[in-house]
Amino acid sequence: MERDPLSRLIIISNRVSAPKEGGAQGGLAVALSAALREYKGLWFGWSGETTEQFTGHINFQRHQGVTTATVDLEEQDVEEYYNGYANRTLWPLFHYRIDLAEYERGFAGGYERVNDRFADTVRPLIEADDIVWVQDYHMFPLGSALRKRGCENRMGFFLHIPWPPRRLLAVLPEAAELVRHLFDYDVIGFHTSEWLESFCDYAVDELGADRDGDALVLDGRRLLVMADPIGIDAKEFIAASHSPVARLIYRRMRDSAVGRDLIVGVDRLDYSKGLEERFLGYERFLQEHPEERKEVFLLQIAPPSRGSVESYQKIRATLEGLSGRINGAYADMDWVPIRYVNQGYPREQLAGIYRAARIGLVTPLRDGMNLVAKEYVAAQNPEDPGVLVLSRFAGAAAQMGEGALLINPYSAEEISDAILKALKMPRGERIERWRRMMDNVEREDVLWWRKRFTDALIGKVEEPG
Ligand code: GDG
């Protein structure tokens, strides 16, 4: 089904990150910039800045073919909505960390207030034929708030993080209300069928929704549910890995490795990424295989994120302690087992680092998808690719499972065994495994993801009746 050429795409997400060279753009930002270049329309959200008094003033900008429209929020909004409900309540809970989730009415109230503010501000920008696509857990109630303001457009919602099992979600005081809000969208997308099934379980068992083929029906509202795994901009990333910058960094990494194998990890510094478990698994490997010790080193790139949230300060301190302890125990005058770096690198440099690495070590405890796993694959040399060691709890495992070495990140032994297996893997097997993953990375890229979602959204318009 072709979309109406007049309809624009309005993307709404918490943070709007205009395309830029380099810098640590998150997975979402990278994906959406690529999608928006294809469409007219705009990307609306929070500027990341604060203001004394919320005015709803919109700042329009245009960068590399993408129009952005951003608003500033008050300090209190940021505290309650962003640092509070989004990152201290929803993020931990949706990553199965009920031990870290905080439930405060003030957070929930701030979350609703900010979603109402977004709705008030963006509503006048939405024209009758526009398709509206809301992104992620900061904005669950936005569709509902827009409907209350008379918005009858096709509206879709995509969740970039896992959807927790029904009984975990029940811990959230506002769970039922949040899920009801989602029925004001026309389509909801998840990365995997696992997250989708958990959502359906909740809607059916707790709210009494009915399943009808690919849709759920509640109080007369029909919500199309789909698994739509996000990909990377594969062509762009392959090109990045052949750029002069990537080549230079590749050589620098190889020179500094002096014949040793590089194991690489790249993650926002977040407790969901299994960094502690990764270090412990690597430590286990060093303990169990003294003969391999000086043959490898781990480069962990972990740019800090959400530093004003206490659990993020804690994980940072834990990792500093752990890397210090492991380096203290095993380092020699000419070798350090872990290079732990708390800064981000431009994408082209990252591509060169991935390519130089014999192992990509990706060990989240839960992850909606995990784009680093796919970027690592895309950056490899087809003649001599590295091995992806991947957590079975990342959404990416559903697509990369045939080629990656899947591990349970809670088991230091499994991580250690997989590192050894990857180091010893013959070139033929490495190529065969990589090819399977690369086929998927190229086929199911970010354009494929976006098209499947917007097609589903538009398809609904043309449904009879
Ligand atoms: C959320 C979900 C889902 C990281 N360090 C640097 C850097 N990065 C880039 C990576 C990658 C992105 O950040 C991280 O994406 P992930 O997918 O791994 O993780 P989240 O940020 O948690 O993203 C996740 C994603 O949304 C999309 O739906 O996959 O499950 O949690 O692109 O390369 N980029 C640069 N320098 C760095 O140092 N340039």
Does ligand 1 come within 6 angstroms of the Cβ of 160?
Answer: yes
CB–CB of 454/131 below 8 Å?
A: yes
Give the integer Cα–Cα distance in Å for 359 and 292: 14
Nearest CA to ligand 1 atom 4: 267
List the chain pLDDT tens, one digit each, 465 residues.
455 555 788 999 998 876 665 444 555 666 677 667 777 789 999 999 999 999 999 999 988 778 899 999 999 999 999 999 999 999 999 999 999 999 999 999 999 999 999 999 999 999 999 999 999 999 999 999 999 999 999 999 999 999 999 999 999 999 999 999 999 999 999 999 999 999 999 999 999 999 999 999 999 999 999 999 999 989 989 999 999 999 999 999 999 998 999 999 999 999 999 999 999 999 999 999 999 998 999 999 999 988 888 889 999 999 999 999 999 999 999 999 999 999 999 999 999 999 999 999 999 999 999 999 999 999 999 999 999 999 999 999 999 999 999 999 999 999 999 999 999 999 999 999 999 999 999 999 988 998 899 899 988 444 443
CB–CB of 272/312 below 8 Å?
A: no
Which pLDDT value is given to residue 414? 98
Give the other-Cβ count within 10 Å of 204's Cβ: 15
Does ligand 1 come within 6 angstroms of the Cβ of 370?
Answer: yes
Does ligand 1 come within 6 angstroms of the Cβ of 304?
Answer: no
Distance from the first to the final alpha carbon of the chain: 17
pTM for this entry: 0.95
| pLDDT, tens digit, 9 for 90 and up, residues 274-285 | 999 999 999 999
* Mutation choice for ligand 1 from 371, 372, 449, 452, CB with most ligand atoms inside 8 A: 371
The string of DSSP letters for 337-386 reads SEEEE-S---HHHHHHHHHH-SEEEE--SSBS--HHHHHHHHTS-TTS--
Does ligand 1 come within 6 angstroms of the Cβ of 407?
Answer: no
Tokens encoding 162: 């896992």
Which pLDDT value is given to residue 54? 95
Domains 9-231+446-462 and 234-443 share a fold: yes
Position 413: which residue type?
E
List alpha helices for 379-445, DSSP H.
Answer: 397-400, 412-424, 427-443
Which pLDDT value is given to residue 216? 98
**Dihedral sign of CA atoms 187, 86, 375, 243 in order:** positive
Does ligand 1 come within 6 angstroms of the Cβ of 199?
Answer: no
Does ligand 1 come within 6 angstroms of the Cβ of 350?
Answer: yes
Nearest CA to ligand 1 atom 28: 160
Output the CA 16–ligand 1 centroid distance in Å. Answer: 15
User: Which is it for strands 66-73 and 187-190: parallel, antiparallel or unpaired?
Assistant: unpaired
User: What is the helix (H) or strand (E) element at residue 43, kind and residue range?
Assistant: strand 41-50
Which pLDDT value is given to residue 447? 86
Nearest CA to ligand 1 atom 25: 27
List alpha helices for 64-218, DSSP H.
Answer: 75-77, 91-94, 105-122, 142-148, 166-169, 175-182, 193-205
* Mutation choice for ligand 1 from 13, 28, 300, 340, CB with most ligand atoms inside 8 A: 28
What is the CATH class of 9-231+446-462?
alpha beta
| Closest-lying ligand 1 atom to the alpha carbon of residue 394 | 30
Phi, psi of 129 (to 5 degrees): -90, -5
Nearest CA to ligand 1 atom 37: 344
Which pLDDT value is given to residue 463? 45
Angle at 70 between CA 75 and CA 231, to 5 degrees: 110
Does ligand 1 come within 6 angstroms of the Cβ of 24?
Answer: yes
Which pLDDT value is given to residue 464? 44
Q: Annotated active-site positions, please?
A: 160, 367
Per-residue CA distances from 448 to 10, 35, 445, 462 (Å): 18, 10, 5, 21
Q: Where are the domains of the chain?
A: 9-231+446-462, 234-443
Output the CA 372–ligand 1 centroid distance in Å. Answer: 6
* Mutation choice for ligand 1 from 21, 133, 266, 377, CB with most ligand atoms inside 8 A: 266
Does ligand 1 come within 6 angstroms of the Cβ of 189?
Answer: no
The CATH H-level (homologous superfamily) assignment of domain 234-443 is Glycogen Phosphorylase B; (3.40.50.2000)
